[in-house]
C-alpha cells in the first residue's frame, strides 16, 4: 500500500500573507459578489458569504483556475457554520483548481457536488449535505488529495450514495485510474432509507471498472447510523486503502470489500444491524474489529465476518464488464484478532459460488454466542485456522478441532457497552501466531504486549483511547 501523502489545507494564514494578498474582510451578500470574489482570489484569500438562503442557477458557482497552496489555501466559508443554505440547480463547480476549502454550508441543490478530475487538494469541511431525492449522489470525488472531514450527510430516501470516490471520466480498462489519497474523516452519515436492493451506499470507494487501481484512501473515525439504503455501508471497489476506527450503529449496511485487493480493515465497531464485514479479493487484512449483535431480518442469517466465495479466481486488467462485476474469490486474506459477539454466526463462508478461498488465515479471533453456529465455512481447504477461542452456548459449527479451543474469555461490558476481557480471561496471552508485523495496538488504542491476547481487546485497566463513536464525535461541530 502506498503511503498516504495528503497535505491538509488547514494551516492558518500569517499576517504577512494577508498584507500581500488581503482577504475579503466583510461578508459578500450576493452570489454575484461571491463569484466576483472567487474570480480574483489568490493563495491565502478567505471569502465569507453572509448568512441566508441562496438559489444557485444552472451554471453554478464556478471555481476555475484558482489555486491556493498547501499552507495558504483559498477558503470559501459561510458567515456562521450552517448559516448559508445553497438551493437551486448546482452549487460549486470546480475546474483546474487546487487547495480550495469549502466550509460551513448547507447543500440542498438538485445535482451532485462534483470535485472534478484536475482539481486537487480540495477540502470539504463542516458542511451539511441534505440533497434528499434531488441528486443521485451527494458528493463525487474525482480529483486527487481531497479531504472530506466533519460533514453531516443525512436523510436520503432515493437511490444514490452520500459519497462516491471515482476518477477521471476517461478510465482505460488496461490502466485503471481512481482518485488518489482521499481522506475521509469524522463525518456523520445517517438516515439513508432507500428501500431498493442496491445503490444506496453511504460511501462507495471506487467502482468495479477501477477496482484494480490503488486508491490509497483513508476512511477513519466516521459514524454511520440507520444507513439502510444498501447492505454495504462502506463499499470498497478499489485497492490499497485503509478503513479504520469507524462505528456503524443500527444499520442494514456493513463493511464490504466488494472488489479490489490489498485493503486494511482495522479497529471498526459494528453494533447491531444486519451486516458485518464481508470479503472478496486478495491480500486483505482484517484485524482488531468488534462486531456485536448483527442479525438478519425476516428470518435470514447474518455473520460477524463473511469470507466470500467467487465466480472468478482473480480479476484482470481489460476483462469484460460482465466478468468484472463477478465476485473475486478471496486469496491470502488474513483475519486475525477480531471479537465477534452474539451475531447470528461468528465467521461464515458462502457456497453459492464455486471458486473457493485460497491461502487464507483465520487466527486468534474471539467468537462468543448464545445461539446458532459460531462458524459456518463450507469451503475449508484454502483456510488455515489456529488459536481461535470459542465460548457460549452456540455450537462450534464447521471449524476444525485443531483451529480453536473452548475457554471462558470472561467478558464484561464497559460504560460504552463494549465487552472487554477481565482478570483471569482465557484469552490473555493466548495467541498462537506472532502478529507484531501486522498491528501493535488493540481496538481501544492500547499497546499490545507479546504474547498478544486473543480477540480485539488487549487486557488493560487503563481508560480506552478509542471508543465507539457518538454524534458528538463527528460532524460539523466535532473537534
CA distance 399 to 381: 11
pLDDT, one tens digit per residue, over 289-303 is: 999 999 998 778 899
Q: What residues contact residue 14 under an 8 Å CB cut-off, 6+ apart?
A: none
CA distance 56 to 160: 22
**What pLDDT is attached to residue 197?**
80
Of 172, 176, 114, 122, the residue nearest 144 (C-alpha)? 122
pLDDT, one tens digit per residue, over 149-171 is: 999 999 999 999 999 999 988 88
3-state secondary structure 402-444: HHEEECCCCEEECCCCCEEECCCCCCCCCCCCCCCCCCCECCC
Q: pLDDT band at residue 195, thresholds of 50, 70 and 90?
A: confident
Which percentage of the chain shows pLDDT scores above 90?
Answer: 88
First and final C-alpha spacing in the chain = 29
pLDDT, one tens digit per residue, over 87-111 is: 999 999 999 999 999 999 999 999 9
Which 3 state secondary structure label does DSSP give 16?
helix
pLDDT, one tens digit per residue, over 335-350 is: 999 999 999 999 999 9
Is residue 20 exposed (0-12), middle (13-18) or buried (19+ Cβ within 10 Å)? exposed
Residue 2 pLDDT > 80 = no
Which 3 state secondary structure label does DSSP give 306?
strand
Task: Give buried/exposed letters for 134-154 (b at 16+ CB in 10 A, else e).
Answer: bbebbbbbbbbbbbbbbbbbb
Domains (range + CATH), the chain = 150-473 (2.160.20.10)
Q: Within 13 Å and on the Cβ side, how many CA atoms surround 24?
A: 25
Which percentage of the chain shows pLDDT scores above 70?
Answer: 95
- Torsion sign across C-alpha atoms 407, 408, 414, 419: positive
pLDDT, one tens digit per residue, over 232-253 is: 999 999 999 999 999 999 999 9
If you average pLDDT over every residue of the chain, what do you get? Answer: 93
Asked, as a colleague might, if the bond just before 379 is cis with ω within 30 of 0, I would say no
Alpha helices in 136-199 (DSSP H): none
Tell me the pairing of strands 419-421 and 411-413: antiparallel
Tell me the pairing of strands 290-292 and 84-88: unpaired
**Element holding 147 (H helix, E strand):** strand 147-149
- Torsion sign across C-alpha atoms 358, 363, 365, 371: positive
Backbone angles phi, psi at 38, to 5 degrees: -65, -40
Q: Which residues on adjacent β-strands are paired with residue 296? A: none
Q: Considering just the CA atoms, what is the radius of gyration of the chain in Å? A: 23
Q: Does residue 323 or residue 16 have the better pLDDT?
A: 323
**What pLDDT is attached to residue 13?**
34
Mean pLDDT on 64-70: 98
Residue 16 pLDDT > 50 = no
Amino acid at each position: 500500500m502506498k503511503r498516504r501523502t495528503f497535505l491538509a489545507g488547514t494551516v492558518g494564514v500569517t499576517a504577512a500573507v494577508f498584507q500581500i494578498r488581503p482577504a475579503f474582510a466583510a461578508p459578500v451578500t450576493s452570489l454575484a459578489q461571491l463569484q466576483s470574489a472567487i474570480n480574483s482570489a489568490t493563495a491565502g484569500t478567505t471569502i465569507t458569504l453572509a448568512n441566508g438562503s441562496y438559489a444557485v442557477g444552472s451554471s453554478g458557482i464556478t471555481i476555475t483556475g484558482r489555486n491556493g497552496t498547501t499552507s495558504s489555501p483559498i477558503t470559501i466559508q459561510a458567515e456562521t457554520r450552517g448559516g448559508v443554505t445553497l438551493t437551486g440547480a448546482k452549487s460549486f463547480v470546480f475546474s483546474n483548481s487546487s487547495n480550495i476549502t469549502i466550509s460551513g454550508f448547507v447543500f440542498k441543490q438538485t445535482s451532485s457536488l462534483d470535485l472534478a478530475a484536475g482539481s486537487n487538494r480540495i477540502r470539504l469541511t463542516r458542511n451539511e449535505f441534505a440533497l434528499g431525492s434531488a441528486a443521485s449522489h451527494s458528493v463525487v470525488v474525482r480529483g486527487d488529495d481531497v479531504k472530506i472531514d466533519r460533514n453531516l450527510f443525512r436523510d436520503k430516501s432515493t437511490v444514490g450514495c452520500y459519497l462516491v470516490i471515482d476518477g477521471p471520466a476517461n478510465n482505460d480498462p488496461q490502466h485503471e485510474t481512481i482518485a488518489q489519497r482521499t481522506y475521509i474523516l469524522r463525518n456523520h452519515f445517517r438516515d439513508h432509507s432507500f428501500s431498493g436492493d442496491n445503490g444506496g451506499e453511504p460511501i462507495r470507494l471506487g467502482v468495479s471498472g477501477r477496482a484494480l487501481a490503488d486508491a490509497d484512501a483513508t476512511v477513519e473515525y466516521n459514524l454511520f447510523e440507520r444507513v439502510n439504503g444498501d447492505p454495504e455501508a462502506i463499499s470498497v471497489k478499489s485497492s490499497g486503502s485503509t478503513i479504520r476506527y469507524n462505528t456503524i450503529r443500527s444499520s442494514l449496511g456493513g463493511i464490504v470489500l466488494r472488489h479490489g485487493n490489498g485493503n486494511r480493515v482495522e479497529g471498526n465497531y459494528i453494533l447491531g444491524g444486519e451486516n458485518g464485514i464481508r470479503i472478496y479479493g486478495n491480500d486483505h487484512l482484517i484485524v482488531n474489529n468488534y462486531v456485536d449483535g448483527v442479525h438478519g431480518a425476516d428470518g435470514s442469517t447474518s455473520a460477524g465476518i463473511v469470507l466470500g466465495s467467487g465466480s472468478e479466481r482473480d480479476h484482470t486488467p481489460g476483462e469484460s464488464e460482465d466478468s468484472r462485476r463477478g465476485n473475486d474469490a478471496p486469496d491470502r486474506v488474513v483475519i486475525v484478532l477480531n471479537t465477534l459477539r452474539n451475531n447470528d454466526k461468528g465467521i461464515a463462508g458462502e457456497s453459492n459460488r464455486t471458486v473457493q478461498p485460497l491461502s487464507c488465515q483465520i487466527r486468534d479471533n474471539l467468537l462468543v454466542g448464545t445461539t446458532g453456529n459460531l462458524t459456518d465455512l463450507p469451503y475449508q481447504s484454502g483456510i488455515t485456522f489456529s488459536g481461535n477461542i470459542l465460548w457460549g452456548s452456540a455450537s462450534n459449527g464447521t471449524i476444525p478441532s485443531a483451529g480453536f479451543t473452548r475457554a471462558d474469555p470472561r467478558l464484561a461490558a464497559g460504560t460504552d457497552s463494549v465487552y472487554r476481557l477481565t482478570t483471569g480471561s482465557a484469552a490473555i496471552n493466548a495467541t498462537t501466531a506472532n502478529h507484531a508485523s501486522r498491528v501493535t495496538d488493540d481496538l481501544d488504542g492500547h499497546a499490545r504486549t507479546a504474547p498478544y491476547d486473543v480477540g480485539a481487546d488487549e487486557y488493560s485497566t487503563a481508560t480506552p483511547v478509542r471508543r465507539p463513536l457518538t454524534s458528538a464525535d463527528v460532524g460539523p461541530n466535532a473537534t
